Amino acid sequence: MPRKRKGSRSRGTLRTSCWNYSAPAHYFLTMITKKRKPILGDIWHGKMYHSPEGQIVADEILNIPTYHQRIVLDEWVVMPDHIHLLVTLKDFDFENGIATPVPFYPEQPEYALPRNIKRRKMLIPLLVGKLKMLTSKRINETLGTPGVTNWQHDYYDIIVLNKGSYSRIKQYIINNPKKWKKPPRTPLPTQIQKYTDRIGRCRSDNLTTKSG
């Protein structure tokens, strides 16, 4: 067994281990800039003003429905050092009329997927990875900083399984600029947890539940 290099550590994951991240559901996604640097703009009197980097991110968020035919973009906001997205993955045969249609496969819970299907190949991780890659590339082209990492390596996700939580999270996103504090009084993950539906254990009904 290869020895681990001194000082190295494995990166964990924030994903829910029992969930298929290609499954139809609402997803509340949060991505944070590297070292929480406020490169995306500033807030004055409760209104967000994008920097050039923030405008790049905002423009690319609007392109998210082109990533895949099942993606529907709902509420979103670009904040100085993070972004919030509320997106929906529709049924496997859904076409949003924007993305190029691709063949769909019958719904399968994650435990039924072949072992060689990695989590990063599921639709939500692919969406986040593409958004980070394209925005970081364009920011670096604009600033003349090739290869600079602009986002934290991971992201936060909430699987929204009921209408009440969906409405609360949507309102949370809308109100985010008005409640901005510099610096935030509580860590961002703690703020997010007030509005979450966290799945505490793997259950078959969780794997097949679709929110309305």
* Residue 212 resides in a domain: no
Q: pLDDT category, 161, cuts 50, 70, 90?
A: confident
pLDDT tens digits, one per residue of 70-97: 999 999 999 999 999 999 999 988 999 9
For residue 202, being part of any structural domain is answered with no
Higher-pLDDT residue of 142 and 197 is 142
Is residue 5 domain-resident?
A: no
Which pLDDT does position 20 carry in this prediction? Answer: 85
Cα–Cα distance measured from residue 134 to residue 138, given in angstroms and rounded to the nearest whole number: 6
Asked if the structure places residue 19 within a domain, the reply is: no
Instruction: Inform me whether the pLDDT recorded for 162 exceeds 60.
Output: yes
DSSP one-letter code for 98? S
C-alpha span between 57 and 51 (Å, rounded): 10
Query: Considering the chain, what is the average pLDDT of its residues?
Result: 79
Q: Where in the sequence is the domain holding 174, given as residue range(s)?
A: 25-197
The reply to whether 73 falls in a domain is yes
- Please check the confidence at residue 191 and state whether its pLDDT lies above 80: no
Q: Give tens-digit pLDDT for 23-51.
A: 999 999 999 999 999 999 999 999 999 99
Query: In whole angstroms, what is the distance from residue 55 CA to residue 87 CA?
Result: 20
Q: How far is CA 87 from the centre of its chain?
A: 8
Q: Where are the beta strands (DSSP E) in the chain?
A: 25-32, 41-44, 47-50, 71-78, 82-89, 156-160
**For residues 19 and 175, which has the higher predicted lDDT (pLDDT)?**
175
- State the average pLDDT over residues 162-191: 82
Look at 190 and 116; give whichever has higher pLDDT: 190
Task: Give yes or no for residue 201 having a pLDDT over 70.
Answer: no
Residue whose entry in the numeric block shows the structure tokens 């509340």: 28
DSSP helix/strand/coil, 151:
strand
pTM: predicted TM-score of the whole model, two decimal places: 0.77
**pLDDT recorded at residue 83:** 97
CATH number of the domain bearing residue 150: 3.30.70.1290
Instruction: Classify residue 8: in a domain, yes or no.
Output: no
Lowest mean per-residue pLDDT among 46-60, 129-143, 170-184: 170-184
**Residues 93-136 pLDDT 10s:** 899 999 888 765 555 544 445 544 566 678 999 999 999 999 99
In-domain check, residue 33 = yes
Strand partners, 88: 26, 72
Task: Please provide the DSSP assignment of 120-149 as one string.
Answer: GGSHHHHHHHHHHHHHHHHHHHHHT-TT--
Number of domains forming the structure of the chain: 1
pLDDT higher than threshold 70 for residue 55 = yes
Helical (H) or strand (E) element with 87: strand 82-89
* In the chain, % of residues over pLDDT 90: 58
Q: Which residue has the higher pLDDT, 92 or 200?
A: 92
Assigned domain for 169 exists: yes
